[in-house]
């Protein structure tokens, strides 16, 4: 394996909540269990960019696409209980504006709370298009402008990009590099070689039987992850 182990989700919702979009969600208890499995394997649960900087099998990263408010409500505690932090990939045009009612998507204030909790805020484009279907200029605007806008809003560097729908072309990859990102994640299970701009992630979200399957998938993948050279402190 050339990259640290990476998993991804969308929503974090208790089983009892609205069943809509459940296929995209993980319940907090399953998420906590995933973080525990990673820790018990001796891997540190870090942000996507930090896990890459750790350069080796000693780290893993769990990330959350689209920017749902429940990532803050449930995700932070679930990962922190196992000493970990996460990464959220935000669709910039969907950030809830100040003063609005509590909603599904993260507000700027909530994004700052995530950052203060040690989470990484990455870009998931301006409006979540299928990037390879756009002109180069439009792709560039999605990739570059989302980074600039997020950095202006957060006052911090945005280093990581997640391709919407996991879709990208060689042009997309080049534009992500030109925009100054340090890395980019896909939704492919494997592949990407050693490229920091085509990093595979395991899909780990799901309820019920699917959650059981996903835990098994994570356990199997952790078996193949080499233990860290140095014992975790």
Give the pair of three-digit tokens for residue 149.
């806008």
Q: Which of 65, 70, 110, 120 binds Zn ion (CB under 5 A)?
A: 65
Q: Which stretch binds Zn ion (CB under 5 A): 24-32, 57-65, 103-111, 152-160?
A: 57-65
Q: Which stretch binds Zn ion (CB under 5 A): 53-61, 65-73, 113-121, 180-188?
A: 65-73
For the CB of residue 162, give the shortest distance to Zn ion in the complex, in Å. Answer: 7
Contact residues for 223 (Cβ-Cβ < 8 A; gap 6+): none
In three-state secondary structure terms, 205 is coil
Binding residues among 3-32 for Zn ion as defined by CB under 5 A: none
Total chain residues near Zn ion (CB under 5 A): 2
| Cβ-based nearer residue to Zn ion, 76 or 88 | 88
Secondary structure (3-state) at 10? coil
Q: Which of 7, 41, 62, 66 binds Zn ion (CB under 5 A)?
A: 66
Closer by beta carbon to Zn ion, 51 or else 63: 63
Among the residue ranges 36-44, 59-67, 110-118, 176-184, the one whose residues contact Zn ion (CB under 5 A):
59-67
Cβ neighbours for 159, distance < 8 A, ≥ 6 positions apart:
49, 120, 122, 181, 182, 183
**Residue 114 burial (CB < 10 Å; 0-12/13-18/19+)?**
buried
Closest to Zn ion by CB, 27 or 65: 65
Q: Are 115 and 154 in contact (CB under 8 A)?
A: yes
Q: Which stretch binds Zn ion (CB under 5 A): 63-71, 80-88, 147-155, 171-179?
A: 63-71
Rank residues 129 and 228 by Cβ distance to Zn ion and give the closer one: 129
- The backbone torsions φ and ψ at residue 144, rounded to the nearest 5 degrees and listed phi first, read -80, -45
Nearest residue relative to Zn ion (C-beta)? 65
Looking at the chain, which runs of residues are DSSP E strands? 5-9, 11-12, 25-26, 44-45, 59-66, 87-90, 120-123, 160-162, 183-185, 202-203
CB of residue 4 vs Zn ion: minimum separation in angstroms?
21
Binding site for Zn ion (CB under 5 A): 65-66
């Amino acid at each position: 394996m050339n990259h640290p182990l990476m998993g991804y989700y969308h929503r974090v919702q208790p089983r009892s909540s609205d069943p809509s979009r459940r296929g995209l969600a993980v319940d907090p208890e399953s998420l906590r269990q995933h973080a525990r499995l990673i820790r018990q394997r001796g891997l540190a649960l870090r942000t996507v960019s930090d896990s890459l900087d750790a350069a080796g099998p000693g780290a893993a990263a769990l990330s959350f696409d689209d920017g749902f408010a429940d990532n803050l409500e449930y995700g932070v505690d679930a990962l922190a209980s196992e000493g970990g932090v996460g990464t959220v990939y935000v669709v910039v045009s969907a950030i809830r504006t100040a003063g609005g009612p509590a909603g599904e998507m993260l507000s700027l204030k909530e994004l700052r709370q995530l950052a203060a909790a040690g989470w990484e805020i990455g870009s998931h484009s301006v409006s979540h298009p299928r990037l390879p279907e756009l002109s180069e200029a439009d792709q560039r605007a999605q990739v570059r402008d989302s980074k600039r806008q997020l950095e202006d809003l957060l006052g911090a560097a945005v280093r990581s990009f997640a391709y919407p729908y996991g879709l990208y072309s060689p042009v997309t990859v080049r534009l992500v590099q030109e925009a100054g990102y340090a890395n980019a994640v896909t939704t492919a299970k494997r592949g990407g070689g050693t490229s920091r701009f085509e990093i595979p992630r395991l899909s780990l979200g799901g309820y019920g039987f699917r959650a059981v399957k996903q835990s098994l998938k994570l356990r199997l993948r952790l078996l193949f992850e080499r233990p860290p050279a140095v014992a975790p402190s």
